[in-house]
Chain A
Amino acid sequence: MIEFIAGGLVVTCMVLAICCLFLYVRKNKIKFAWWKWALSIIWLLYTDISVAFLSTTIGENELGATLRGGGAFVAIAVVTGIVLFRFVILNKGGKKRDA
């Protein structure tokens, strides 16, 4: 049961995060092409899967997989998250759409 509740929460939070991103780009008048939406959604999915991998390997008592696999996945999620936010969402140096 807890898997279903947590799974529902994951989906809800993803939808909420996407809605917030939508609001953010609208209020900031940021030009947001379809591929930026795609990248953002993929990053969200990847991050959730990485955290789920980390906790699953803890749950199955595979410490090596937690440290090596989970660690690598989460590190990649953090780095790509920073890159995504800095250069894609904030669009530093890019164009803003017309008001």
Chain B
Amino acid sequence: MENEKVNPSVQTNPESKGPELSRRNFLKLSAASVGAAAVVTGAAAAGVAGYANATDRRTATGWETETGDEEYFDRKPFEVSKPTNRVVGPTRNIEYLSPAQYRRNVLSRFFDVPEGMAFADYLRTVADVNNLEATPFSIINNPDLVKYYQDMLDREGWNFFAEDLRYFLEVLPRRTRILAETEFDLTLAKAYVNGHYYLSGYHLSRISKESDFEGVSETKYDVRDPAEMTRLIKKVGRMYGSPIVRIVELNNDFAYDRCPQESRGYTFGEPLNIPSHWKYGIITTYPLSWETIVASPHAGASQEGYAYVAVTDEKLSTFIKQLGYSARPNDRQHNYEYVLPPLAVLAGVGEQGRLSSCVTPEFGAHVRLGMVVTDLPLVPDKPIDFGLQKFCQNCKICAENCPSGSISFADKPREINGRGYEGWPINTATCSNFWYETPNPTMGCRICVTVCPFTKRSNWIHTAARDVAVRDKTGISASMLTWMERAFYGTHDGEYYKYVDGSREYNVVKEMPWFFKTGDFFVEPS
């Protein structure tokens, strides 16, 4: 017994049946146990909080409407005097022939197509179908179009003529085949998107050269304070459904030089004489639904955002006219005199990113823009710099994911399209062609918009990541977050998204939503 070691933490009470802990050691053990339990419970609670936050509908984007007074991102600390897409040369208007789809809608007019002959059939007789790049511009009978094609070829090395020919000779016939074989699978997606079109004809019918003053109240009061009027308009705009409302002083560099299509009372190619009474643009926005945008490029459509923003613009125009001032919506369903992304950048809605869209700090790139032009006295907002140019220089995820290779990989932005403004060039002809080479019944693709690291759900992870990235001026956290995006969330290369004819398999950015899976709701005819 003499050599028996006694554990000092255990004392033997002669009256008790076994060993018992001292008070001190009981406390030690209790502290350790309770501490460990607290760590585990705290971690478990953090897990529950994270899961609850991630599955909360409010952390998906696309619902942020009628928000009242506050925007989701405080832009004030990021306001700058000049936009980050700098002026680097003489500026000019946007060519009326530059929007690929509008140009192709009227392309047959620029050729001597024999009467009764289909345009595609005619092109087969004059173009080198085995080498579209070699087709001479001399078969075009419109000097503006020849100049436009030649400028793009000289400036960027892009043969838009060959891409336009490819659209008619290869893309459209393929699209017909693809749509036929995928019709059943994408019935619900098509029906959903077409639901958003229901007012588009109505919206367009409301616009003419004179419509600014139609329905304007005869009673007009002088504005007491333009700053207060701006506050009022932003409040009303948000109540009408736009989560971001910003004011821009109109810059006619961002108007078309001529009308790119027949609408709004203009004929195709008619000079757009911007009325002198147009002073300000009220930029409105609408984020697309997260559930549908992740089905890009094969389902979902921008019309979802355009439809809502058009309704907001219509309401806002009516509101302004009721006050005795003129107003005219510019948006996808009312059509445009202006190109909106650069004006949204001027207004501080966001910055122009590598993908060429306006990227906002809170919703990323997947907002759709609208604008109401007016002579109501307002105070323009300042542009913002939240470090997107630097972020885009390092990131390049949109360019890696682009199936048509239309997005530039260049490190630095440069002057684009001879318009005098800096940015990353986008090959709109190849981009537009890919829209038609997806089975999406209302056209793809929106991949760049969806994979942009700023386009994320608004749960705590992504909100915190965006908040850190925009405030860290060193760019270290932006590089780290981009790395984490690739390493953790994963990205694809462009090939992944390309539809394989006959496969009826749809590789989308995330997953096809359950409410687009037609086979789960209907019996496919055999």
A residues neighboring B (CB under 8 Å): 2-3, 6-7, 9-10, 12-14, 16-17, 19-21, 23-24, 27-28, 44, 47-49, 51-62, 64-65, 68-69
Instruction: Return 6 A-B CB contacts under 8 Å, by A number.
Output: A20-B35, A47-B43, A55-B46, A55-B49, A56-B51, A65-B489
Q: Are A60 and B39 in contact (CB under 8 A)?
A: no
The answer, yes or no, to whether B487 is at the interface (CB within 8 Å) is yes
A65-B489, A69-B488 known; A55+B50 contact, CB < 8 A: yes
Shortest A19–chain B CB gap in Å is 8
A16-B38, A62-B489, A64-B490 known; A3+B52 contact, CB < 8 A: yes
A10-B42, A13-B41, A21-B35 known; A55+B48 contact, CB < 8 A: yes
- The DSSP consensus for interface residues of chain B is helix
Q: B53 to chain A: which residues have CB within 8 Å?
A: 3, 56, 59
A17-B35, A21-B35 known; A52+B41 contact, CB < 8 A: no
B28's contact among A2, A6, A24, by CB below 8 Å, is which? A24
Considering the complex, which residues of chain B in the window 24-74 have a beta carbon less than 8 Å from any beta carbon of chain A? 24, 27-28, 31-32, 34-35, 38-39, 41-56
Q: A49 to chain B: which residues have CB within 8 Å?
A: 46
The answer, yes or no, to whether B357 is at the interface (CB within 8 Å) is no
The answer, yes or no, to whether B460 is at the interface (CB within 8 Å) is yes
The answer, yes or no, to whether B262 is at the interface (CB within 8 Å) is no
Q: B27 to chain A: which residues have CB within 8 Å?
A: 23, 27
How big is chain B's contact interface, by range? 35 or more
Residue of A whose beta carbon sits closest to that of B459: A56
Pair count A-B, CB < 8 A: 128
Shortest B118–chain A CB gap in Å is 47
Residue of A whose beta carbon sits closest to that of B489: A65
Q: Are A51 and B46 in contact (CB under 8 A)?
A: yes
Residue of A whose beta carbon sits closest to that of B41: A13
Q: Are A64 and B51 in contact (CB under 8 A)?
A: no
Shortest A61–chain B CB gap in Å is 7
Chain A to chain B: the 6 pairs with minimum beta-carbon distance, closest first: A59-B54, A20-B35, A13-B42, A52-B50, A69-B488, A6-B49
A10 to B52, CA, bound (A): 14
Shortest B485–chain A CB gap in Å is 9
Q: Are A58 and B51 in contact (CB under 8 A)?
A: yes
Considering the complex, which residues of chain B in the window 1-32 have a beta carbon less than 8 Å from any beta carbon of chain A? 24, 27-28, 31-32
Q: A10 to chain B: which residues have CB within 8 Å?
A: 42, 45-46, 49
A68 to B486, CA, bound (A): 11
The answer, yes or no, to whether B396 is at the interface (CB within 8 Å) is no
The answer, yes or no, to whether B495 is at the interface (CB within 8 Å) is no
A17-B38, A17-B42 known; A27+B52 contact, CB < 8 A: no
Q: B366 to chain A: which residues have CB within 8 Å?
A: none
A70 to B117, CA, bound (A): 62
Q: Are A59 and B51 in contact (CB under 8 A)?
A: yes
The answer, yes or no, to whether B139 is at the interface (CB within 8 Å) is no
The answer, yes or no, to whether B368 is at the interface (CB within 8 Å) is no
A20 to B51, CA, bound (A): 28
Shortest A49–chain B CB gap in Å is 7
Q: Are A52 and B460 in contact (CB under 8 A)?
A: yes
Shortest A85–chain B CB gap in Å is 10
The answer, yes or no, to whether B238 is at the interface (CB within 8 Å) is no
The answer, yes or no, to whether B328 is at the interface (CB within 8 Å) is no
A6-B45, A9-B45 known; A24+B54 contact, CB < 8 A: no
Q: B54 to chain A: which residues have CB within 8 Å?
A: 55-60
Q: Are A44 and B48 in contact (CB under 8 A)?
A: no
Q: B459 to chain A: which residues have CB within 8 Å?
A: 56, 59-60
Residue of A whose beta carbon sits closest to that of B39: A17
A24 to B488, CA, bound (A): 38
